[in-house]
Structure 1
Amino acid sequence: MKIVVVGGTGLIGSRLVATLRTKGHEVVAASPSRGVNTITGEGLAGALAGAAVVIDVSNAPSFDEQVVSDFFRTSGSNLAAAEARAGVRHHVALSIVGTDRVADLGYFRAKVEQERLVTQSGTPYTIVRATQFLEFLAGIADGHAEGDTVRLAPVQFQPIAADDVAALLAETAATAPLNGPIEIAGPDRGPFAGIIGRYLEAVGDRRTAVSDPAARYFGGSVTELSLVPTGPVRLGRIGLTDWLERSRASA
């Protein structure tokens, strides 16, 4: 089966392409560096010719809300039109758990718009909402640091490894479209500050993670369950302890 991975050279995309190829699929890693640009449309028709499935794991080049919104709107519209012409049978979109629960976070609002475009495209689809990636823990800590203290909202957190995201996306691509969302997460759930604190200790970072009721999530207001699944969820296999050990070994 021919599968096109949009954003196929990034953190998730590169892993997903490799996973799909081991399963015997014909895979196109679509990205601007490979001559496929969903913003300009360059190379899109050729990449999608004969494709049964498109998996969109692309991301905007900036976290600025206007940039992100413009990216997902343009990319999503171009993809929808190209998929309709190519007769794509299943569109799989990677989104984020909590997109509809953090209304004052611009990036999440842009992902809601992306999801809306997918649902209205006319192509059968599955939206895979993932929790934050374990690979983002360093950036999350840095983004909430005040000197030697990392101040985090008193909420639940359940990060997932990028390898698990790729594996679950590959499984989703091989099944019938749900025409709805599913949620995926790592196997370990706990207090936000506790998980970030374990990461900091593991990497030898002397900063202290604390739970602060006044803290926000990258500027967004969150409640206890804003960032974790609240219903049926598919869990990855790589726990926080295993991921930290692998990270230390490869450092």
Structure 2
Amino acid sequence: MKIVVIGGTGLIGSKTVAILRGGGHEVIAASPKNGINSITGEGLQEAMAGAQVVIDLANSPSFEDKAVLEFFETSGRNVHAAEAAAGVRHHVALSIVGTDRTPENGYFRAKVAQEKLIVASGIPYTIIRATQFMEFLGGIADAGTDGNVVRMSPGLFQPIAADDVAAAVADVALAAPRNGVVEIAGPERAPFNEIIARYLKAVGDSREVVCDPEARYFGGRVEDHSLVPLGEARLGRIGFDEWLRRSQARV
């Protein structure tokens, strides 16, 4: 099977490409550095010729509200046009759990816009909504830092390892289109502030984590269930402690 992975050289993309190639599939890791650009449209039609599946893992280089919205809308339109021309039979996209429950978060609003374009495209699709990646915990802590204090909401949090995300993306890509949403999350659920505190302690970071119900997550208010699946979800196999062991062993 020929599969095109938009954003195929990124964190999730590179892992997904490796899994699919290991399964014997013809996989194109599409990215601007490889001459395939979903914003300009460069190389898209050529890359998708003969492809059965397209996996969209593209991500905006800017998280500014206007820029990220323009990125996902422009990229989505270009990708869908190329898919339609190539007769692609399954569009798979990675989104975020809770995108539609945190409208103050500009990035989440942009992902909602991306999802709407996918549904309206007429191409069979599966949207995978994932919880936050464990690999991003350091950046999340930095975003909530004021001096030596990290303010974090007590809302529930269920981070997932990138390896588990890639495995789920590869599985979905090889299955029939759902024409709907699949949610994935880590195996452990705990208050946001507790997980960030565990992470900082494990990496030897002395910052103090303060539980603050008013703390925002990239501009969005975090209620108890804003960032976790509300219903059935596929759970990753890598727990938080196991992920820490693996990540520290790579350093």
Which whole-Å deviations, capped at 9, do the CAs of 1:172-206 have from their partners, x for residues lacking one?
A: 00111000101000101101111111100110001
| Gap runs ≥5 in structure 1 | none
Task: Report the alpha carbon displacement of residue 224 of structure 1 after superposing the two structures with TM.
Answer: 0.5
Q: Distance in 1 between matches of 2:249 and 2:209?
A: 24
Amino acid at match of 2:138: A
1:81-230 paired onto structure 2 within 5 Å: 81-230=81-230
Which whole-Å deviations, capped at 9, do the CAs of 1:59-94 have from their partners, x for residues lacking one?
A: 001000111111111110011111001000000000
Query: How many equivalent residue pairs?
Result: 251
SS in 2 for 1:100: helix
Question: Which residue number in structure 2 is paired with residue 47 of structure 1?
Answer: 47
Question: Which residue number in structure 2 is paired with residue 29 of structure 1?
Answer: 29
SS in 2 for 1:27: strand
Q: Distance in 1 between matches of 2:4 and 2:17?
A: 9
Give the TM-score normalised by the residue count of structure 2.
0.99
Task: Report the alpha carbon displacement of residue 34 of structure 1 after superposing the two structures with TM.
Answer: 0.4
Give the TM-score normalised by the residue count of structure 1.
0.99
| Gap runs ≥5 in structure 2 | none
Task: Report the alpha carbon displacement of residue 247 of structure 1 after superposing the two structures with TM.
Answer: 1.4
Task: Report the alpha carbon displacement of residue 216 of structure 1 after superposing the two structures with TM.
Answer: 1.1
Q: Distance in 2 between matches of 1:86 and 1:108?
A: 30
Structure 1 runs of 4+ aligned residues shifted over 4 Å read: none
Which whole-Å deviations, capped at 9, do the CAs of 1:24-70 have from their partners, x for residues lacking one?
A: 11000000000000111110011000000000011001000111111
Aligned CA RMSD, in angstroms, stands at: 0.6
Amino acid at match of 2:190: G
Q: Distance in 2 between matches of 1:161 and 1:100?
A: 22
Which whole-Å deviations, capped at 9, do the CAs of 1:100-133 have from their partners, x for residues lacking one?
A: 0001111100000000000000100000000000
Question: Which residue number in structure 1 is paired with residue 68 of structure 2?
Answer: 68
Task: Report the alpha carbon displacement of residue 149 of structure 1 after superposing the two structures with TM.
Answer: 1.3
Q: Distance in 1 between matches of 2:193 and 2:69?
A: 30
Task: Report the alpha carbon displacement of residue 148 of structure 1 after superposing the two structures with TM.
Answer: 1.5
Amino acid at match of 1:186: G
